[in-house]
Structure 1
């Protein structure tokens, strides 16, 4: 390649990829070089563009990496890596943030709208109308209705009018229908484009009417007409009982998960202590083998046991993370997404005692306080209301109806309403209206359906009472059993500790083997684990009993809003 093209490529390449050096060259020289070496310009330009793009991608990648690092550092700075929680704090956080609780609150609001919907059936209704009409039609006569003389033209009648009316309707909770109507009408009448004599023109007519209808058999009485309002109110109460039950279940879930986490942490401590004991024995065996006191097989036995206990530690560490995630799911901590690592440290200690309660008192408490039995009783009340309403619909429809009205007439609006005040023109009426559906199969089938539903609700309540009795007995048995388990497990742990210590002394004296020492160490770890499990099971049995008796919210100092 000639020298000039090489120099030219270098200049152009530097100019495009690093800095516009070519601007310092004279314009004539630059244009001449470009004209002479066109193909080199193209090649160098393409190469320079690729160079610039590559440099830009590298810079962008570096900036993106820095940005991600900054975001990660910020998130790590904002989110705590450790969170200490008491049981009370855990319950309060769950009640505040749990999504199931928020859904149940919305369901309560839906039931409130049902009450408003039923009350709205007794809202007054107002209706207004305004209209204009005009008619022109020939009369079937050749006699002029004004002059009473025969005419060659066909008489033409023209009528125009305006009407305005207001009507107010209202149904009372006694079943009474009330209606008030006010109407005003203006009429203009022309014959042959002339106003007829002997009458008002224009003519104003007004009337005020009041009517009332009271059912005497079907739909009679406040209780019947408020049936579905009371049903809606009971449904609202049922939804509150359901909400209370959901809160109780959430509190039990949070409490049980909290104690599960405590159990996993304590079991991890036991496994770690067991691992340290096995490692200590391994180091001792290595020293003894090196000194020629023990055979090399003792090292292999100890190493195998250390590996097994390391596996146990890993499994327990996983259980802790699982329990942490479950607790965090229930709490739904704000600004702490589950995807982030967070160590939850429970600070409360489990209980070891409880107050005694008799079986009869426990069952009576459960029947009185459990929300599910309150819910079933409310539902049974609803079924009774619907049966009474359906039974009322079997009756004939007999209504007492009455009404009265006043009329006014004048040549203008003022005279028209003056006639209303004089009470000279009026009307009234009163009577009975009877309607009897032949067969009445629709009402009969509805009544039978409601009666069966009421019987079903009663049986459901009785069955729930049996279930509650069984659950209460089971809960009290679990508490008593776990208390006994704790005492037995504590004794077992003490004996296992003594056995392990004595076996270690025998081993040091050359009267035992590594296998025997490791076996007794495992027995001790298992005894300690059973003791911890018994204590945690006892605390979980306590919260289960509180749930079964319906006192769990009260015991946690939680009041229904």
Structure 2
């Protein structure tokens, strides 16, 4: 039955949502059917006070909110977004204005042939300039400038005069490249590249979030697994203690040799050693999780998640459709190819001659007490050609063209390789899931048989039909079976997380609203 790509995506997203519910609302066992998380032992940890219950969704929320790598990524996004705004301003006007006010004075005393002359002069000059320049998508540069200059002179003393002058000049210039640098496709290339870079930056941010969430899930499950292993060892320790007490009773009744007690005592000692080791393991896992969550190392937490294994998995077709739409690395490869195409457009255009059409028009109005009023108008239009016939400029442009062609070919190869890698990763992920699901089923059956085997052997021991050594061996087998099932279930769930990461759907699965900007980061960077 054929399905459209849109339907495949809908089904894939539906699977991701179903998987999220399974992971978030999980309720199952690794330590025995029907066992609740409240059966976990109280774990020693840093700090004082009651341990804080933490579910897996709690941990995911905390890492998204407070992880240092994520916070730094959002700080970078402020600068990256502004860089796009700068490039998109390319075809908007640039306006400048400057002015000056200068006053000068001179005092001149002169004596000639017995006569004294005194002259004082004061000049005031005010200048103002403004210009508006705008680049249009064809490559044409339009510039309008205006300049106002007013000079006031006042001379007093033996000779008095007033000299005021005003000039007002404005000009319009247009320069249009006809070959190199001309054309909409060429001038829009840098803007398109900036937009591609923005998409790459957003994908990089998404990848940072996915990696942080994935690491958190792994760390949380490692902590949970270590805590469950403590519970397993405690039960093994309890069984070893009960066996020792039963052995003592059998010895007192004359039904067991006293020398057989050594086996039970040795087993009890080994279980105590294992208990100490698991306590160390759980503390290491706790600290690693706290580091990922950016929480104080003395924070006492208790994992409350229960393990439930989903039975419904996506098909290969559904998984690939999701990966093509969401996988950051694959989407990055596609963007690199698009960016390389823009580089080649610019490099090819850069090989053309410089042929520009230049048009100027300016007018100056002057008003002076001495020279009267005058108006002057000038205009010009012409073509200007520059050809790099031979030498470094031409070789440099040719090197850029060769580099652009090479980068485009490499980008195509990388995209093809990325596509193949993605298909292989999806195949491996789904196959690994199916194998691990089968391992869980086999581990559950092995645990059931191990429990039954130990019960039968304990009954035999009561009637003298089994040895103490055999019972101890079956107790160890039961503990190993419990640990094997726990590891199998955690590995299976972690394989789901790894597949989510491969597909790029981690944020969808955990219902994390992906935001390309954070207002808190913008306030910090802009210092608002």
Change (3 A) 1:446 1:328: same
Query: CA separation in 1, counterparts of 2:227 and 2:352?
Result: 71
**Residue 305 of structure 1 aligns with which residue?**
267
Task: Give the aligned partner of residue 366 of structure 1.
Answer: 323
1:77 and 1:255, CA in 2 relative to 1: closer, same or farther beyond 3 A?
closer
Q: Report if the CA contact (8 A) 1:107-1:239 is conserved.
A: no
Equivalences, count:
446
The alpha-carbon deviation at position 441 of structure 1 amounts to 1.6
1:179-218 residue pairs with structure 2 within 5 A?
Answer: 179-184=143-148, 204-218=166-180
1:77: how far off?
A: 13
1:363 Cα deviation after fit: 1.8
Report deviation, 1:346. 1.9
CA distance in structure 2 between the partners assigned to 1:177 and 1:110 by the alignment: 28
Deviations 1:392-433 (A, max 9, x none): 1111111111122234344459974xx66xxxx533222211
Residue of structure 2 equivalent to 1:90: 59
Counterparts of residues 114-263 of structure 1 (less than 5 Å): 114-119=83-88, 124-126=94-96, 128=98, 164=127, 166-174=129-137, 175-184=139-148, 204-263=166-225
Structure 1 residue 349 corresponds to structure 2 residue 311: no
Once the two structures are superposed, residues 84-120 of structure 1 have per-residue CA deviations (whole angstroms, 9 ceiling, x without a partner) of: 0111111001100111111111222232232244346
Match of 1:434 among 372, 385, 390: 385
Q: Is the 8 A contact 2:46 2:299 kept in 1?
A: no
Q: 2 CA distance for matches of 1:77 and 1:490?
A: 35
Higher alpha-carbon deviation: 172-181 or 274-283: 172-181
User: For 1:323-361, what per-residue CA distance to the aligned partner results, in whole angstroms no more than 9, with x for missing partners?
Assistant: 11111111123xxx21x262x222221122232322132
Farther off after superposition, 174-183 or 383-392: 174-183
Who is 1:264 aligned against? 226
1:274 aligns with 2:228: no
Offset, 1:223: 3.4
| 1:164 to partner: Cα distance | 3.6
Conserved? CA contact 2:224–2:303, under 8 Å:
yes
Show structure 1 runs of 5+ residues with no match. Answer: 1-75, 135-159
- Judging changes above 3 Å, is the alpha-carbon distance between structure 1 residues 476 and 78 closer, same or farther for their aligned structure 2 residues? closer
Q: Pick the aligned partner of 1:287 from 242, 246, 249.
A: 249
Question: Residues of 1 paired with 2:194 and 2:101: CA distance?
Answer: 42
Contact 1:204–1:413 under 8 Å retained in 2: no
Q: Choose the corresponding residue for 1:384, options 327, 333, 341.
A: 341
Distance 1:353 1:414, change over 3 A: farther
1:455 to 409, 412, 418: 409
Q: Give CA deviations for 1:219-260 in whole Å, capped at 9, x if unaligned.
A: 113332233333222222211101111111111111122222
1: CA distance, partners of 2:256 / 2:168: 125
Structure 2: runs of 5 or more not aligned: 1-44, 105-122, 516-528
Distance 1:431 1:371, change over 3 A: same
Give the match's secondary structure for 2:310: coil
Verify the 8 A CA contact 1:204 1:412 in the aligned structure 2: no
Q: Does 1:541 align with 2:510?
A: no
The whole-number CA distance in structure 2 between the counterparts of 1:109 and 1:186 is 46
Question: What per-residue deviation string (whole Å, max 9, x for no partner) do you get for residues 454-477 of structure 1?
Answer: 222222222222221221111111
Deviation at 1:507, TM superposition (A): 0.9
Aligned twin of 2:358: 401
RMSD: 3.1
Alignment of 1:415-434 (within 5 A): 416=373, 425-434=376-385
What is the aligned partner in structure 1 of residue 38 from structure 2? none
Match of 1:29 in 2: none
| TM-score between both structures, scaled by the size of structure 1 | 0.73
Cα deviation for residue 285 of structure 1 reads 1.5
The structure with the larger Rg is 1
* Among 454, 457, 464, the residue aligned to 1:503: 457
- State the TM-score, normalizing by the size of structure 2: 0.77
Deviation, 1:304, is 0.5
CA contact (8 A) 1:219 1:393 kept: yes
Question: How far 1:171 moved relative to its partner?
Answer: 3.3
Q: Aligned partners of 2:299 and 2:130: how far apart in 1? A: 69
Could you tell me how far 1:206 is from its partner in structure 2?
A: 3.8
Match of 1:524 among 475, 478, 498: 478
Q: Any conservation in 1 of the 2:432–2:495 contact (CA below 8 Å)?
A: yes
Equivalent pair of 1:81/1:341 in contact (CA under 8 Å): no
Cα deviation, 1:495-552, whole Å, max 9, x if unaligned, reads 1111111111111111111001111111111112212221111111111111111111
| Deviation of 1:185 (Å) | 5.4
Give the deviation of 1:436 after TM superposition: 1.3
